[in-house]
Amino acid sequence: MFQSRTHNCNELRKEHIGQEVTLCGFYENLRRVSKNLGFLILRDFYGTTQIVIETEEMMEKLSSLNCETTLSVKGTVRERSSRNANLPTGDIEVVPEDIKVLGRCIYNELPFEINRSREADENTRLRYRYLDLRNPAVKANIVLRSRVISELRNAMNAHGFMEITTPILTCSSPEGARDYLVPSRLHEGKFYALPQAPQQFKQILMASGFDRYFQIAPCFRDEDARADRSPGEFYQLDMEMAFATQEDVFSVLEDVLPPVFAKYGKYKKASSAPFKRIPYLEALEKYGTDKPDLRIDLTLKDVTELLSDCGFEPFNKGNVIKAVVVSGFEGSRKVIDKLCADVEVVSGAKPYWFKMGDNNEIAGGISKFLQERAEKIIETLNLKNGDFVGLSAGSKNQALKTGGTLIKSLGEICPSHMDKEAYEFCWIVDFPMYEIGEESGELEFCHNPFSMPQGGMEALKTKDPLSVLAYQYDLVCNGVELSSGAVRNHDPEIMIEAFKIVGLNEEDVRSKFPAMYNAFCYGAPPHAGIAPGVDRMVMLIAGEESIREIIPFPMNKNAQDVMMGAPAEVEDRQLKDVHIAIVRDEEGH
């Protein structure tokens, strides 16, 4: 215990009555009863304690102070006359003999009430993050984050993994998101890059003879913010295993993650091993997404043949039509209209619907176009009174996207079809090795160019590239992608053949990835790995909707640190040191 205090503000109980104590903390508030009686709430990291003021002199001293001033209170513990059952320290209070100011708050007004800071504008919260973090509810998420990371680290050590840190200053990556570049002072015109992930380093570690590696790795990507993605930097539980298969990776994470989620999670139920495994193409067809939320028991059915050319223009020939059937739907027309509007905003396409009326007939929505096929529709979809049918149509990709959004939205408004009090994990497996790029129209890697193709060299040489599957996998929890991983392509000959299919030759591979390629040429072991996002895990465990709620000092949606004022201009001499000049056009841009 610090010499300046004998106890913290969540520690005193009845057994301390009569003891002389010293507490330190923030002046949360003061309730004045009279000029010589008041009740001060003192708050520190651990909790709060009531200080009862019984002298006019001490009341005057406190009246001159602003809330959030830090104080040292020396006094005697006594039993409270009226117990507060909502507080751990609710049985006692402290009668002070001396109060000292340790750090004065000079502002009469705060930007927000500390205990209600989450109601404030986000930029205000982030600008005054040091005050926001004093809110016990905000602080609790950061404490949770620390405990989860500690638990993950202990679990990985127990599984025989060695924690190794990899470089922060490295070379620019030709794949993935935009890099953050760092100009070199010693090497004019050249740049380091902050790592988007330790991918190459951890694979080189495997080639170096290390067997099991992990780290809580910082990663840097110049990406736009989302609710589940913080711009700039994030952390992941990065791991790699030598002489390992896909099953080995699954086995480790299926043992490590569920206990952490069950112990610390908002929901106490988490999937046990083995997690459900869903092939990528099946996930798209069945759930409309490769990130299915398995808490929802709704799935898509292909009704293209059943509903095509029924007279409803979006169902004309050539369009794919998907349906999701919801039993026991009780939503009003207003609820349905809002559902359709929300789905259209997210998916970019309008959904359609009809439902089963009380007389075993289809009604509402687009039902007038379906009457001639009503009997066949009811039989094929096994519809019953009260069932609701949501529909999506368009190109295959659009029908799937809209259908997947429908499932997610229907799950949110239909409690009987979604178990919100659980963590449901699944593996998405068997990703295609190649795809036709939407923008380029050319053959390109689908997921990860360094994954091992299923079937190895023979598959690459004999199969249609679009039919080749890879040993790639995603870990998904409650509809959130926690991680991508793969069995790595450690064989230089297979690697060259894989890149040749997309028009790149051996020299291209050598020049883009020289260290890793050369390391593999010295005989690398088979290896596999994955890197679940720590921030996303903690977000799910805490039950938060925004990832910024579980990061101590997050950037805002515009990738700005409004507390520190970053990004910021720097002095000309600093630019000169790194051989950089800012050139503006005639308009000053």
Q: In this predicted model, which residue has the larger pLDDT, 545 or 242?
A: 242
Domain holding 30: CATH number? Answer: 2.40.50.140
d(CA 16, CA 14): 5
pLDDT band, residue 334 (cuts 50/70/90)? very high
DSSP 548-584: GGGSSS---TTS-BTTTTBS----HHHHHHTT-----
Amino acid found at 559: A
Q: What is the pLDDT of residue 512?
A: 86
The arithmetic mean of pLDDT across residues 331-354, rounded, is 94
Domain holding 356: CATH number? Answer: 3.30.1360.30
Asked whether residue 441 is assigned to any structural domain, the reply reads no
Q: List Cβ<8 Å contacts ≥24 apart for 540-545.
A: 540/261, 540/265, 540/423, 540/477, 540/478, 540/480, 541/144, 541/148, 541/260, 541/261, 541/264, 541/265, 541/266, 542/141, 542/144, 542/266, 543/265, 543/266, 543/267, 544/141, 545/227
First to last CA, the chain: 56
Instruction: Say whether pLDDT at 583 is over 90.
Output: no
Output the pTM of the full model. Answer: 0.91
Q: What are phi and psi of 574, to 5 degrees?
A: -70, -40
My answer on whether 33 and 129 are in the same domain is no
Q: Which H/E stretch holds residue 264? A: helix 246-264
My answer on whether 261 and 164 are in the same domain is yes
Amino acid found at 423: Y
- Nearest residue to 341 (alpha-carbon basis) of 296, 402, 260: 402
Structural domain count, the chain: 3
- In order of 167, 184, 514, 582, the CA distances from 188 in angstroms are 21, 6, 22, 15
pLDDT in tens, 440-489: 888 999 888 889 999 999 999 999 999 999 999 999 999 999 999 999 99
pLDDT in tens, 124-171: 999 999 999 999 999 999 999 999 999 999 999 999 999 999 999 999
Show the domain range for 36.
Answer: 14-103
Asked whether residue 470 is assigned to any structural domain, the reply reads no
Q: Could you tell me the two tokens for 431? A: 């990703």
Helices (H) and strands (E) in the chain, counts: 17, 22
Q: What is the pLDDT of residue 1?
A: 47
Residues 6+ apart with CB under 8 A from 511: none
pLDDT in tens, 245-259: 999 999 999 999 999
pLDDT in tens, 498-538: 999 999 899 988 988 899 999 999 999 999 999 999 999 99
Asked whether residue 108 is assigned to any structural domain, the reply reads no
My answer on whether 139 and 250 are in the same domain is yes
Q: Could you tell me the two tokens for 350? A: 């309008």
My answer on whether 261 and 125 are in the same domain is yes
Asked whether residue 483 is assigned to any structural domain, the reply reads no
Asked whether residue 239 is assigned to any structural domain, the reply reads yes
My answer on whether 71 and 125 are in the same domain is no
My answer on whether 89 and 201 are in the same domain is no
Which of 75, 103, 131 is where one domain is finished?
Answer: 103
Q: Could you tell me the two tokens for 469? A: 């599957």
3-state secondary structure at position 167: coil
Which of 417, 432, 460 is where one domain is finished?
Answer: 417
My answer on whether 542 and 581 are in the same domain is yes
My answer on whether 152 and 96 are in the same domain is no
Q: Could you tell me the two tokens for 5? A: 């205090």
What percent of the chain is modeled with pLDDT above 70?
99
My answer on whether 256 and 132 are in the same domain is yes
